[in-house]
Amino acid sequence: MHHHPDATAVVRDLAPDEPVILNRPHAAKRAARFFVQKFPGKVLYAVKANPSADLLLLQWEAGVTHYDVASIAEVRLVRETLPEATLCFMHPVKTERAIEEAYFRHGCKTFSLDSVEELEKIVRATTRDGAAAKDLRLCVRLRVSSEYSELSLAAKFGVDLTEAPALLQATRQVADWLGVCFHVGSQAMTPFAYVQALERVRAAIAEASVVIDMIDVGGGFPSVYPGMEPPPLEDYFKIIHQHFYALPIAYNAELWCEPGRALCAEYNSMIVRVEKRRGNELFINDGAYGALFDAAHIGWRFPVRRIAADGTAGNDVEAEDFAFYGPTCDDADFMEGPFQLPGDIRAGDYIEVGMLGAYGAAMRTGFNGFGTGPVATVDDEPMSSLYRGDRDDPRVSDNVVSLR
């Protein structure tokens, strides 16, 4: 793997024809340490956000010991990469073979579910020679609102509040350890998202009248993107902690979270090359079938900066709004943006697209023969960061009204 001080050095040294993924190990470790040290409970890394083995090792080195795996492939990956890690199979719908392999071969004891059918499936898959498992740690996933998040996760999974008490009671009968989990949606822009969800948890537990050993507030912790400036993560942690302690749960109950985006967004950026300019449309060599999937399909805006063909920054010209076309033959390979770049950008220039560590680097495909390219490690800072301590607090307004 190539190692360079920054993205401009990558362009100068490689003049790459293909997109280059840039890794920032120091940024990933900093994010993980932040969560481990400041979140008032246990931190599970949501592997789906970026399943890079190198990143898993960085998380482990920074103190993350539990991993939210959502498929048997992720179970195998984490177990092979981190033999001592605690695996938590948090996808609410799994095959019996996947459950059986995870439990018996890989030592996974924690499973989530949102229906009686899934509960029965877990019990069957973990029964051997007529003996049911006695050490299951089961988490009932409650459906909550995603109204405060940029991407909804409210429709597909989760038991309704009206049905949750009966499912909690049934799960308590077979679980050695019972938890309640939920997900407020990706990129939650206010801590109130968790307040609302925890109130639903309170109602479900009170109605079920069962002992609860764990509350898992899931993911949703945000990162920083153009037009999305969330409050400090400490605000989220504080309000979650306060409402957790007010729940009717066991005195020694644990608090968990499952960050994905917040732990890995700053890990990756990508260098793309401008192959053609047509007005304010730039044809680049990655797109809807690659790391810019979210930019194309859900209109996600990523930070961008121009790197001139000679490797200089070249961002001193007034910015204009641009849209991107990717390299494939499809009209759907289009990213509307807008992406602000210097008005004189032209074919042969490069663009660094930032904050692609969450989902971006993991979404690349080989469609139409594209999707390959080198990977480099760089030492500079990501374009945005929640963890450096130098970000302006978005809660502070410049519009101060004097009372004198």
d(CA 157, CA 144): 10
- pLDDT at residue 395, as a whole number: 55
**Rounded CA gap, 264 and 24, in Å?**
10
Whole-angstrom Cα distance, residue 361 to residue 155? 26
Give the Cβ contact number of residue 291 at 10 Å.
27
Range(s) of the chain covered by CATH 3.20.20.10:
26-264
Every domain range in the chain assigned CATH 2.40.37.10: 2-22+265-378
Q: What per-residue confidence (pLDDT) applies to 54? A: 96
Give the per-residue pLDDT at 371: 74
- In sequence order, what DSSP letters do the residues of 34-99 get, joined into one string? HHHHHSSSEEEEEGGG---HHHHHHHHHTT--EEEE-SHHHHHHHHHH-TTPEEEE--SS--HHHH
pLDDT of residue 124: 97
CATH no. for 2-22+265-378 = 2.40.37.10
CA neighbor of 43 nearest in space, from 322, 254, 309? 254
Q: What is the pTM of this model?
A: 0.92
pLDDT on residue 311: 72
Nearest alpha carbon to residue 303 among 250, 263, 357: 357
In this structure, how many other beta carbons lie within 10 angstroms of the beta carbon of residue 397? 8
pLDDT of residue 137: 98
Phi and psi torsions of 188, nearest 5°: -70, 120
Q: For residue 232, how many C-alpha atoms fall within 13 Å in the half-sphere facing its CB?
A: 15
In CATH, the number for domain 26-264 is 3.20.20.10
Structure tokens at 280: 């304010």
Q: Give Cβ neighbours of residue 130 (< 8 Å, ≥ 6 apart).
A: none
User: What pLDDT is attached to residue 154?
Assistant: 76
Contact between 243 and 254 under an 8 Å Cβ cutoff? The reply is no
Look at residues 158, 64, 146, 145 and name the one whose alpha carbon lies nearest to residue 112. Answer: 158
Distance of alpha carbon 55 from alpha carbon 264, whole angstroms: 8
State the 10-residue block means of pLDDT for the chain, 404 residues long.
89 93 97 97 96 97 97 98 98 97 98 97 95 96 88 83 96 97 92 94 95 95 93 95 93 95 96 96 93 91 91 79 93 92 95 94 77 89 88 52 34
* Angstrom distance (rounded) from CA 77 to CA 59: 14
